[in-house]
Amino acid sequence: MGRVAGERFPSLLGLWLLLCSWGCPGNAELRAPPDKIAIIGGGIGGTSAAYYLRQKFGKDVKIDVFERGEVGGRLATLNVQDQEYEAGGSVIHPLNLHMKRFVKDLGLSTVQVSSGLVGVYDGEALVFEESSWFIINMIKLIWRYGFQSLRMHMWVEDLLDKFMRIYRYQSHDYAFSSVEKLLHALGGDDFVGSLNRTLLETLQKAGFSEKFLHELVAPVMRTNYGQNLDINTFVGAVSMACTDSGLWAVEGGNKLVCSGLLRASKSNLISGSVMSIEEKTRTKQTGNPTKMYEVVYQTGSETHSDFYDIILVATPLNRNMANITFLNFDPPIEEFHQYYQPIVTTLVKGELNSTFFSSRAKDKFGLSTVLTMDNLDLFINSVGITSSVRNKDDPQPSTDGTHVWKIFSRETLTKAQILKLFLSYDYAVKKSWLACPQYKPPEKCPSIILHDRLYYLNGIEWAASAMEMSAIAAHNAALLAYHRWNGRTDMIDQDGLYEKLKTEL
């Protein structure tokens, strides 16, 4: 199947190029492609940018991807007794179409992810518990919260519906020069404004009860972003979408998408840390003086440098994270000092001390995930049974009452805390992250265009941080770089795209 399509594609493309050489509107004078492009960061943002840049600029451009740690970045696994488990970005929404496309194009497989039965703990008792019976669940939800959970579902669906417009815009090659303009094209002032309102304000205004917000919505925010209802409305909606059904992950680990995209894009991985970027004038082989960017980077103790026509920065720009210096730019490139939220992932193989949450006998506990309310005294954000990245061959029902549990917390758990939470445990590993922005609306997203041919992807995280968001930012930056290189301003920041493309296939 794949081969047939692969063979047909070049001939169609050839035909199209032939037709275009006879005069496609606006396409007549494409400038020669750049020689070299640098991408800084080998996470999902950087590697998907490599993939889209290759698509746009063609096979002759040299693409270097700089990564100072592991390819995958915030997509990483931890090992527990010979099995790998997701330690960073773990679940993907069924409507995350870029991620879906990557998995398909790379020939990877998926696994379904379910959180099992969920309970919510308020620091003293469980305030809500799911039942394995759908009907009983509905009755419980309605009994306690009226029809709010249904309304919440509709609210999220409405936003998601508008959000999905991005795929149509991008498949028609349209790009945006700022995150705000991108959001505006999706959902107008309402979408842009959602970065300026807290989730709490928005949902209160929409008539959701305090009880529902604090008992069901806040615990979801706490698990996904380590924060509370004071985050912006947009990221709040993205976070609530994670309670939909049909969530999935990549078999073998989500990070396989990153290494796969690197290979598919025929990019060159440079395992090094970028220190500085400076614009300089160089004389190319053609003899013309050309403005290029010099990238200075370190591999081990050695310092190197190289020149690029275009640069995409695909890591949060912040002194504690990327620590890249922009030398001698006039005006100077904006410094971003925004804080990132610490989240520690701990994996524990052991038997949960269910009396920590409930006085019920341990064989009657039955929950696989416990979320927590926004309670400052509590040392965990959530705890839940987790499956390995190959969970098809994972023996699910445990015989000895032990499971691998994933705990999110703000700080590293002490041994005493782990012992409180577990009756016994064999093994514990952890990974500390600066996970996502600390959301404090009103939010101003960092610029995408930092300088003439210097682009920044991770500003989109200030709208919402997720794998798909990085992939969307990557596709956008690749299109933006391409159109700006070719002077195609008619493909950037177009108004009325939704109406314009509505009638097209």
Ligand X SMILES: *[C@@H]1O[C@H](CO)[C@@H](O)[C@H](O)[C@H]1NC(C)=O
34 scored as a contact of ligand FAD (CB under 6 A): no
298 scored as a contact of ligand X (CB under 6 A): no
Nearest to 127 by CA among 219, 250, 227: 219
Find the largest Cα–Cα distance for the chain. 80
- Partner in contact with 354, chosen from ligand FAD, ligand X, none, beta carbon below 5 to 8 Å by kind: none
Among 290, 325, 338, 341, the residue binding ligand X under the rule CB under 6 A is: 325
Binding letters toward ligand X, positions 70-109, x by CB under 6 A? ----------------------------------------
- Partner in contact with 380, chosen from ligand FAD, ligand X, none, beta carbon below 5 to 8 Å by kind: none
Instruction: Using the structure block, give the residue that is written with the tokens 């096979």.
Output: 59
3-state DSSP of 257-292: HHHHHHHHCCCEEEECEEEEEEEEEEECCCCCEEEE
42 scored as a contact of ligand FAD (CB under 6 A): yes
Cα–Cα distance measured from residue 372 to residue 218, given in angstroms and rounded to the nearest whole number: 8
Q: How far is the CB of 47 from ligand FAD (least distance, A)?
A: 7
315 scored as a contact of ligand FAD (CB under 6 A): yes
77 scored as a contact of ligand FAD (CB under 6 A): no
Among 192, 247, 418, 448, the residue binding ligand X under the rule CB under 6 A is: 192
- Partner in contact with 442, chosen from ligand FAD, ligand X, none, beta carbon below 5 to 8 Å by kind: ligand X
The long-range contacts involving 52-58, CB below 8 angstroms and separated by at least 24 positions, are 52/474, 52/475, 52/478, 52/479, 53/265, 53/312, 53/478, 53/481, 53/482, 54/264, 54/265, 54/266, 54/267, 55/478, 56/478, 56/479, 56/481, 56/482, 57/33, 57/482, 57/485, 58/33
304 scored as a contact of ligand X (CB under 6 A): no
> What H or E segment, with its residue span, contains residue 66?
strand 62-67
Q: How far is the CB of 366 from ligand FAD (least distance, A)?
A: 24
Among 114, 259, 353, 432, the residue binding ligand X under the rule CB under 6 A is: 353
Whether the Cβ atoms of residue 319 and residue 326 lie closer than 8 Å to each other = no
Cα–Cα distance measured from residue 356 to residue 195, given in angstroms and rounded to the nearest whole number: 37
Q: How far is the CB of 14 from ligand X (least distance, A)?
A: 46
- Partner in contact with 444, chosen from ligand X, ligand FAD, none, beta carbon below 5 to 8 Å by kind: ligand X
69 scored as a contact of ligand X (CB under 6 A): no
Nearest to 200 by CA among 440, 458, 16: 440
SS3 content of the chain, % helix, strand, coil (to 5): 35, 25, 40
Whether the Cβ atoms of residue 223 and residue 408 lie closer than 8 Å to each other = yes
275 scored as a contact of ligand X (CB under 6 A): yes
Among 67, 130, 279, 309, the residue binding ligand FAD under the rule CB under 6 A is: 67
Footprint of ligand FAD on 90-109 (CB under 6 A):
90-91
- Backbone φ and ψ for 343, nearest 5 degrees, come out as -135, 130
Among 320, 375, 398, 489, the residue binding ligand X under the rule CB under 6 A is: 320
Looking at beta carbons only, is 174 or 422 nearer to ligand X?
Answer: 422
223 scored as a contact of ligand FAD (CB under 6 A): no
Q: How far is the CB of 87 from ligand FAD (least distance, A)?
A: 7
Length of the chain equals 505
313 scored as a contact of ligand FAD (CB under 6 A): no
414 scored as a contact of ligand X (CB under 6 A): no
3-state DSSP of 297-345: EEECCEEEEEEECEEEECCCCCCCCCCCEEECCCCCCCCCCCCEEEEEE
Nearest to 88 by CA among 327, 347, 292, 441: 347
Binding letters toward ligand FAD, positions 388-427, x by CB under 6 A? ----------------------------------------
458 scored as a contact of ligand FAD (CB under 6 A): yes
Residues binding ligand FAD (CB under 6 A)? 40-46, 66-69, 73-75, 88-91, 273-274, 314-315, 322, 324, 343, 345, 433, 435, 458, 465-468, 470
